[in-house]
Each structure stands twice: as structure tokens, then as C-alpha cells.
Amino acid sequence: MPILSLHSFSRAILHVDGDCFFASCEVAKNPALKGKCVVTGKERGIASSMSYEAKARGVTRAMRLSEIRKLIPEVIILPSDYETYSLYSQRMYAIVRRYTEAIEEYSIDECFADLTGMRRPNKMSYEQMAMKIKHELDMELGMTFSVGLSVNKVLAKAASKWRKPSGLTIIPGYNIHLYLAKLPVEKVWGIGSQTSAYIQKLLGEARGYSGAVTALQFASEQPEWVKLHFSKPFQEIHRELNGGFVYPLVIGEKNDYASISKTRTFTPPSSDREYVFAQLSKNIENACIKLRRHSLFTKRFAFFLKTQEFRYAGLEIKLSQAISAPQEIIRSVREKFSQVHRPGVLYRATGIVLMDLDHEDVRTADLFGDSNRIEKVQAVLQAVDSIDAKFGKHTVFLGSSWKAVNSQSHRGDRGEETERRAQLLRGETKRQRIGLPFLGKIDR
């Protein structure tokens, strides 16, 4: 049986998780919503986040808004204000950085922090730091956060989920087994339903376990047994469950991607070929903006269309040269578009996935001067990126994206603008706004 870590904190890893983050941001910027059933996702037609009051009444993620209204007639449904959520997210990171610069911005509503070695500079214990960070997050941002502290990322994430909402759970090395004994293995970060079923089957046959297998039962298996039955990711999870430190924090801005994807839903659905192509063209431009921001090139991509009946059709295309210019991808897509698009069919979304990404520009000179042409295009795109950085995204865009850029993605009830976009400060434009999440209390 592996020996669990006996140290209090061989490493001190903190995980911060915003409770119902998007809905909580809406309540924080408008306290009049406190205690009410709040749901975001009006523009999508399904719930993307909901307050705990709405959860208690049976609302779940991706539930149709029409069903929610039947369930809770007084529900408050709002369009998602990602600009504001991002600002709150940056404030969350900034508060944690008061205690350590070693921050992994894991997602918009959660982060990891390495507090190891910060007791002396901060003049407090790791436990005190965790308590202070949670208190400052709750008080300064006007919402609650669940915080977990342990010896690695897997256990810290388990700790933050232990007591939600607004929980603070500390799992020192010598108490790991007490928590794992109560934690179902399917609740471990990185172990999905299929893997947990496989673990259940193996341990049931090998050890005679009946009922739900716990994380402790999996962690107690010898490393040799785990290596025999599981791939490397699950061997690493096993080591972290035993108090090892396998997953380092990813510090700084992420610039390595296995793929980059952009998908956009629009309403009402459309059978207009050029409008659907424009939506796809805009997605391609957005994906290539991110590609260039991280100095990446793509050699393979896939595009798809989604119908009103949620059926998908798409193609994968391999490029002869690595590129980051949207014109090249759009040209290839237009050549194949008729193979995917069906006249008269209503489409509700388009998407692009860029793959085989590399930081190296591996283009080679060719007899027809194609590389020189691409280099000229790159120079133009650098100028476009500079203009967009100064005046806002899509200030300059390709003609193929015209119908998408110059029309609302959602019309009718779903097209309602967020308060932040509808009430601009003097000097602001739709594309340029200062970093304020709200303008004060707004009457409803």
C-alpha cells in the first residue's frame, strides 16, 4: 500500500473557485438581485450559469430557458456579459497575487496558487493565507468563493469542491486519507464516468469491493498495479492522490495550444448561404487573431455547420504550408463549402478548429512566389492587428465577414444587449470601453 504524505505541507497549493461565477457577477454588480433566481445565457436560449436560489428550484446548466420560465415564472434571465465577467476574473487573480506571484489562471472563474515558501514574506501560516485570501475575495468582489488548500493541484481542487458554496477546506498531508475515504473516485479531477466505471470493475473483481469505489481505495493500490491497468495521466493522478507533486502550475499567459477553435451560434437560424458563410468567415478571423497573438501557425483545420436540428456537417482540410492568415483558410473553405452547406437548410451555428499548431513558420520558397505573397499578407495583417488594438476588435475585417460583423448575432428576445454595452460612458464606443464592470445600480 502506498504511503500517503506525512508532511503537513510539503508544498502548499491553493485552488480558488468562484461560486456560480457568471450569475454571482450579475448579483455583485446589481445587489437588488440578491436572493433571487438569476440565470444567464439569454442570448443562447439555454442556461449558462444560475444562482444557488435557481439551482435549488431545479435549474440546471444547459436547461432551455422556456423550461426554466415554466418552472420559475419570476426568474430573472440575463444576457451573458463576458466583458464584465472577465473584469471580475482579473480582480480575483489580482487579490490572490497579493500573497504570491505564482498564479495559474486556470479558467475565468478559477485559479491555482503556489503558496510554498511564502510564510515568512507574508508573516502568516499557509492556513492563515488561505483564510485571508477567501475573506478578501468575498468582501471585495461581493460574491462567494470556495477555496481549497493542499499539497498538490488534484487535492487542492478536491478540497475546494468539498464544501460548496463559500467553503474553505484545508487538507494537510497527514489528513489526506481521511478525505479520500469519503470522496467517490468519480469526483476526482481528471477521472470521468467511463474511467471510474473501469476502476469500479477492476477493483470489484480484484479486491471484492462492492458499492461506490472511493478515491482512497484507488490511491491505496500499488503503483505497479496502476501502471499495468492505466495510462500515464491516471498514473499521475494516482501519485497526486498519494501526496506527490506531479502537476506544476502553468504560470503566465498561455501561448502553447494543441488547437484553437471558435464557434458562434446565431438566432434566428438562417438558410442564407452568404450569411452563414459570413458567420464562418468571422469565426476564422477570430481564430487567426488568436493564432497570431501567440505567434502560431496552423497546417490543418476543420470547419463545420450546425443545423437547427443540432446536426453537424463539416470537413477537415490539410494545408500545403503553415499559415496564420485568415484569407488562406477562407479561400480553402469557400472551395469546399458546397460539400457541407445544403440549400434551404436552416443553420444555427458555424465553427472552425485550427490544428497542428507550431511556433515555427515552416514555409519554404516556391517557384510561383506563393511564399512572397503570404509574407505581404502577413504585413497587412500586422497593420490590421495594430488598428484593432487601438480602436477595438473587427475595426478592420474581411469582406467575406461583412454580413456577420454588421448584424447582430442574435435578434429578437435573445438579442438584448448587456447593461454594460447598452450604457456607455462618454467617449466609449461599442468596440472600446474602459475597464469598469458596471456603472452603479441600474433600475429594472
Q: Does domain 13-17+85-173 have CATH number 3.40.50.10490?
A: no
Mean pLDDT check: name the lowest of 43-52, 319-328, 357-366, 396-405: 357-366
What are the tens digits of pLDDT across the range 62-119? 899 999 999 999 999 999 998 899 999 999 999 999 999 999 999 999 999 999 999 9
CATH numeric code, 21-82: 3.40.1170.60
- What pLDDT score was predicted for residue 441? 46
What are the tens digits of pLDDT across the range 240-262? 999 999 999 999 766 667 899 99
- What pLDDT score was predicted for residue 255? 66
What are residue 367's phi and psi, to 5 degrees? -65, -25
Query: Do the domains 13-17+85-173 and 260-405 sit in the same CATH topology, yes or no?
Result: no
| Cell numbers describing residue 260 | 484553437
- What pLDDT score was predicted for residue 444? 35
In what helix (H) or strand (E) does residue 207 lie, and over which residues does it extend?
A: helix 193-207
Mean pLDDT check: name the lowest of 6-15, 153-162, 305-314, 429-438: 429-438
* pLDDT greater than 60 at residue 416: yes
Domain assignments of the chain as residue spans, ordered by start: 13-17+85-173, 21-82, 260-405
At 137 the three-state DSSP class reads helix
- What pLDDT score was predicted for residue 377? 72
Of the chain, the percentage scoring pLDDT greater than 90 comes to: 68
Region 331-341 average pLDDT: 95
**Catalytic residue annotation:** 110
Region 162-178 average pLDDT: 96
The number of beta carbons lying within 10 Å of the beta carbon of residue 435 is 9
* pLDDT greater than 70 at residue 373: no
Region 12-36 average pLDDT: 96
Rounded Cα distance between 353 and 416, Å, is 28
Mean pLDDT value across the chain: 88
* pLDDT greater than 50 at residue 367: no
- What pLDDT score was predicted for residue 382? 80
For the domain with range 260-405, which CATH number is right: 3.40.30.10, 3.40.930.10, 3.30.1490.100, 3.40.462.10? Answer: 3.30.1490.100
* Residue the block writes with cell 419570476: 74
DSSP letters, 66-111, are HHHHHH-TT-EEE---HHHHHHHHHHHHHHHTTT-S-EEEEETTEE
DSSP one-letter code for 173: G
361 pLDDT band (50/70/90 cuts)? Answer: low
The number of beta carbons lying within 10 Å of the beta carbon of residue 179 is 17
* pLDDT greater than 60 at residue 162: yes
* Residue the block writes with cell 505564482: 102
The number of beta carbons lying within 10 Å of the beta carbon of residue 296 is 21
- What pLDDT score was predicted for residue 182? 96
What are the tens digits of pLDDT across the range 214-237? 999 999 999 999 999 999 999 999
Taking alpha carbons only, the member of 221, 253, 250 closest to residue 104 is 250
Mean pLDDT check: name the lowest of 34-48, 86-100, 370-384: 370-384
268 pLDDT band (50/70/90 cuts)? Answer: confident
